[in-house]
Amino acid sequence: MSAVKKVVLAYSGGLDTSVIAKWLQETYQCEVVTFTADIGQGEEVEPARAKAKALGIKEIYIDDLREEFVRDFVFPMFRANTIYEGEYLLGTSIARPLITKRMIEIANETGADAVAHGATGKGNDQVRFELGAYALKPGVKVIAPWREWDLTSREKLMDYCEQHQIPVDFAKNKKKSPYSMDANLLHISYEGGILEDPWAEAEADMWRWSVAPEQAPDKPTYVELTFEKGDIVAVDGERMSPATVLATLNKIGGANGVGRLDIVENRYVGMKSRGCYETPGGTIMLKAHRAIESITLDREVAHLKDSLMPKYAEMIYNGYWWSPERKMLQTAIDQSQQVVNGDVRIKLYKGYVEVVGRRSADSLFDEKIATFEDDAGAYNQKDAEGFIKLNALRMRIAANKGRNNF
């Protein structure tokens, strides 16, 4: 192995990363720094400190990144109305650049010359972590144990724990969740188990954040959201921090059966993968954001944004958050949001999100022009005749040449 003096490990305190911490010490004979991020996964992160100490770790970082996650990553992404392949709200994808950023900061603070992660060689996360690491610290060494070691099963991991006296909260005979799950303030994802058969329906008891739509309240819930420059700043008139906004909408949406998704997506590494996701708050945010944009954005700006969004979503999904092209698009997107201010009223009912009102001091909706009643001359309908004829000119010419036969 090449010489590594110190490595920063993205550490959850679970089985895999506990084994990785010991494996790094043993294989690379180096000092290990652990980093545990609280991005709203809903589990206590402080126990990771005791587990790291038990492994002989001297430098332990546990950081609350919830506000930064929503403010600097989730909100900018939602300004673009970002969805991947028409459905996925990128909950896992958008968390990786923040975790990577903090890992590199810690590497710089501690003098580490390497970083390590627990992503497997089959998934997208290895790409996201490593593209980010190289973008932020070009000379860093990245260690991906799943691409190096022979601990290819849970049984082998447990045997390794026994051999090296690694204190983890697992037992050989303890039932493991059949799903691989990832959670943060934006979503929780489920993969593996029965979901590996794309024909099999997800089990009802799999879902953690939402009630089934058919079991949601029989009475609709109304929510009013206030936007400033494309971001939600208040819920029902109460101003909140970004993380609190998303946590609040998760709770409201989940209680109404909102945000469940079952898809087969195309991974960047080439394979198709079936996953289920719960994104209650994000589902509400997307619907509301499009509603406030519908009255505040110029038509061509809105259409241009929509045409750029799939490429922007692909950049985030594939791990190019720190790329110059993503930053360029973000600048344009953020500029468009200067007028995206106002209120949106949402109705939630048994999994359905419906926009029932929108208003803004920056609205381009002109009631005098749009009305079906007498507009008092605000719009001259005769102007439409020349407009239509000019737009039909090329088709009329083609028809005269016999090109529009049917």
The residues annotated with a catalytic role in the active site are 16, 96, 125, 180
Angle, helices 299-318 vs 280-296, to 10°: value is 150
Q: Which two tokens stand for residue 242?
A: 């970004």
For residue 164, the SS3 value is helix
CA gap 194, 55 in Å, rounded: 35
Is 91:209 a contact under the CB 8 Å cutoff? no
CA distances from 386 to 12, 375, 382, 399, 400 (A): 66, 20, 8, 19, 20
Q: To which H or E segment does residue 232 belong?
A: strand 231-235
Provide φ and ψ at 320, rounded to 5°: -105, 35
CA distances from 365 to 292, 294, 360 (A): 11, 9, 9
CA gap 49, 40 in Å, rounded: 17
Q: To which H or E segment does residue 265 belong?
A: strand 260-266
